Structure 1
Amino acid sequence: MQKRAYLLIAAGAVLWGTIGIFVRGFYGFGFSPLQVVTLRVLSAAVLMLVYLLFTRPELLKIRIRDSLYFVGTGIFSLAFFNLCYFTTIRETSIAIAVTLLYTAPAFVAVLSRVFFGENLGVKKLFSLGLTLVGCAFVAGYLPGIGDSLTLSWSGLLTGLGAGFGYALYSIFGKAALEKYHTMTIAAYTFIFASLALLPLGNFENSAGAFSIGAFWVYLAGLGFFPTVLAYLLYTKGLEEVESSRASIVATIEPVVGTLAGFFIFREILTGWQVAGVLLVLVAVVMVQERK
């Protein structure tokens, strides 16, 4: 059962790793990072609502006081980390943004210890260290070797903010699973994020893109594959796996992103990046191993 949970988490992370394909498409239409985030969560909210209304409408029932869970997953996590993440991409590069995003397992490990009393064992800490080093290699950040990458303070802070916001989904999602179904959590995560971002989107200057057929293809793809389906798979996997372990398994995402860049956009994959891919995969295998 736990192996299945790890596979679900990994599958969700693989889908998250494809998001750069869709984001690049929207940037080509002239959308800002804030607008892309808004389109992502809004399309996902519509897809989830339509699906549940026609299949399992009972899953849309929640208690008003439990809205705080979805304020956490939707606004504090999804909306916040996406805004920080896309802003970091604009301020620095995709590689640096992904590396800073995957400081999330460190935040999750600490927060899980505080809120859930999860153990920080030597193996988990070692796996965490491997993932961070692996992500750095994948991004090409190698201090002392060649030209070191430099970050602005704003890029660094938004990058770390993305990692922290990303970590919060595991924490709030784990708490919400005690009361609600996976699909309920995913649906209200997207709904609350949409309510928070829609007033800020300002799509008047980009209205012309809505008449282009390719725009709707990108919108459907962005809303379904790296968003609705990815979050459903990841949240389902959280039912059987510690949130700190789940977040480390999810570091497959930057590996997938790097490979997508190589095969789809013909980006060069260096020897250090290959080493980083292998380190992340080793860490994923290690974190699955049980005593």
Structure 2
Amino acid sequence: MPSAFIILAALSWGFISIFTKKLTSYGFTEMEIVTIRVVYALILLFPLTFIQKKQAMFKIKLKHLPFFVGTGLLSIVFFNWCYFTAINQLSVSLAVMLLYTSPAFVAILSYFILKEKLSLKKFFAIIVTITGCTLIAISSSGGATSWNWSGFIIGLGAGLGYALYSIFGKLALKHYDSMTITFYTFLVATVSLAPFFHFWRKMSGFTIENHLYMIGLATVPTVLAYLLYTIGLNKVESSTAAILATMEPVAAILVGIILFKEDIVILQFIGILFILSSVFILSIKRKTKGDLSKRISKEC
């Protein structure tokens, strides 16, 4: 089931706090952690890509390079910069809420760029998803949030950057498979970040445990998550995939409750139910006349 790949990717993204909290305690800044994420992911992807299809998998046409600039630079790098900046200028909860405006951005961009239909069911699922994320955000801050216009606009930029992976990924899938797309996405991101954020200068005296957390960050919420998400995009519309990916905050909250002993309030629980409901709405398929006739013929 293609939707399952999207949901598994979202759940994998939801585990990112396990690794980021630990790496932050080691003294890394937010953008250094992002750089660790993409550099280590590229290191992991190189042998995987080479083994699967050897050198043929590294070949792309120059005219398709904009697709990977889109997924690597405009999506991953731009999204992370906007997200962390919004967290610094606004409350974390409001930044998360603005990040999850991405399904709305994807639905609109898909309509104009990918010519996907914006059905009533999809539109309703977007509203339900945003409502759920809003409830989680409000409850996380006790209803009090800091505010400034620059932070708000940059926060919306995080939602846009998050959405752009679905758009550029869908365009790239017309020419390349998921492994190639993921590899070049992180290659572009690494080239864009590594010259400016020298995280390795802080690695003197690191133990095996330190390195395992860095590798874990690159494996679970990065390589695995993006591969699953890109595979899912093969069969799922970009706008639908973006909505299904909002299972991530659900996973993140569960990780917080189970591992970090964070409390959950009633509004957060209701918000989780809203997000789960949007996934259920998208899973409902309308029976067509053709489907009905096939069922009748089988029964006869």
Q: If the TM-score is normalised by the length of the shorter chain, which range does it land in?
A: over 0.9
Q: Paired residue for 2:290? A: none
Q: Paired residue for 1:231? A: 226
Question: CA contact under 8 A between 1:106 and 1:128: conserved in structure 2?
Answer: yes
Q: How does 1:174-185 map to 2 (within 5 A)?
A: 174-185=170-181
Deviations 1:176-216 (A, max 9, x none): 000001100000000010000111103375243x6233321
1:266 counterpart SS class? coil
RMSD, matched Cα: 1.8
Q: How many residues align?
A: 285
Question: CA contact under 8 A between 1:138 and 1:255: conserved in structure 2?
Answer: no
Matched to 1:276, the amino acid is: G
Instruction: Give the TM-score of the pair, scaled to structure 1.
Output: 0.93
Matched to 1:136, the amino acid is: T
1:199 counterpart SS class? coil
2:196 counterpart SS class? helix
Instruction: Give the TM-score of the pair, scaled to structure 2.
Output: 0.90
Return the alpha-carbon distance in structure 1 between the equivalents of residues 199 and 179 of structure 2.
29
Residue 142 of structure 1 deviates from its aligned partner by 9.2
Residue 59 of structure 1 deviates from its aligned partner by 1.6
1:140 counterpart SS class? helix
| Runs of 5+ unmatched residues, structure 1 | none
Task: State yes or no: 1:148 paired with 2:147.
Answer: no
Question: CA contact under 8 A between 1:141 and 1:149: conserved in structure 2?
Answer: no
Q: Paired residue for 2:296? A: none
* Identity level (%): 42
Return the alpha-carbon distance in structure 2 between the equivalents of residues 93 and 22 of structure 1.
21
Deviations 1:145-201 (A, max 9, x none): x64322233432332111100100000000000000110000000001000011110
Q: Paired residue for 2:29? A: 32
Deviations 1:247-290 (A, max 9, x none): 00100001111111111111110000000000000011101222
Bigger Cα Rg: 2
Of residues 194, 205, 215, the one that matches 1:198 is 194
Matched to 1:75, the amino acid is: L
Q: Paired residue for 2:112? A: 114
Give runs of ≥4 in structure 1 deviating > 4 Å: none
Q: Paired residue for 1:290? A: 285
Of residues 276, 280, 295, the one that matches 1:281 is 276
Q: Paired residue for 2:289? A: none
2:194 counterpart SS class? helix
Question: CA contact under 8 A between 1:33 and 1:83: conserved in structure 2?
Answer: no
Residue 25 of structure 1 deviates from its aligned partner by 1.2
Return the alpha-carbon distance in structure 1 between the equivalents of residues 221 and 208 of structure 2.
20
Question: CA contact under 8 A between 1:136 and 1:142: conserved in structure 2?
Answer: no
Q: Paired residue for 1:79? A: 77
Return the alpha-carbon distance in structure 2 between the equivalents of residues 238 and 204 of structure 1.
34
